[in-house]
Amino acid sequence: MRRQAGFTLVELIIAMAIFAAALSIITLSFTGLVRIQRTAASDRATLENGRQIIDDMVNDIRSATSVEVCSASTYHFAGVTGDSLLVNGATPVIYFEDSNKVLRKWDVSAGGGCTAPSLSAPPQTSNGVTVNKLVLLIVDYGTGKSTSADIDLTLKGQGNVLDHIHTAATTRGGGG
């Protein structure tokens, strides 16, 4: 009897097992790369958001006549945590962190001074980005106001990586 050309059942099962193992390794590698890429994109977005916040704060400070750090106890206002930065210029603004760890910017030209900021103020942090730490320092020489501010901002993004940004800004006395 002549033997017919082809594969035996055992050979087919072995070939399928090798193919399945190789496909599993490729799939796991691909999903890992996709996860890493998404995390990296989220971290880049968090850092970019932090840089934009710092740029906005520095621009406001540079066009101001003075800056003040307002203590949260100054307002006695629920929903505001920590200290806030009051930038006195043509349009005075307060940068503050709310209880949800969102950094907000409030136009205080109507209220003026270290008044209670509105929680309806537009957020400066993007969705999924929270303030992990905000430190505001000024040297006021006993006046309560200064011409420079030290800003230390740490943001936490969806990738749970902390992005730390530090800068100092000095007013240029523009105020207008």
* pLDDT (tens digit per residue) in 89-127: 777 888 888 778 888 888 877 565 677 667 778 888 887
pLDDT (0 to 100) of residue 76: 47
Residue 54's nearest CA partner among 135, 157, 160, 174 is 135
pLDDT given at position 87: 82
The pLDDT assigned to 114 comes to 72
In terms of Cβ atoms closer than 10 Å to its own Cβ (0-12, 13-18, 19+), residue 132 is middle
The predicted structure's pLDDT at residue 143? 66
Q: pLDDT under 70 in the chain at which residues? A: 1-2, 71-82, 110-113, 116-117, 139-144, 159-161, 173-176
What are the tokens at 145?
Answer: 């106001």
Q: What is the pLDDT of residue 175?
A: 44
**Tell me, what's the pLDDT at 89?**
77
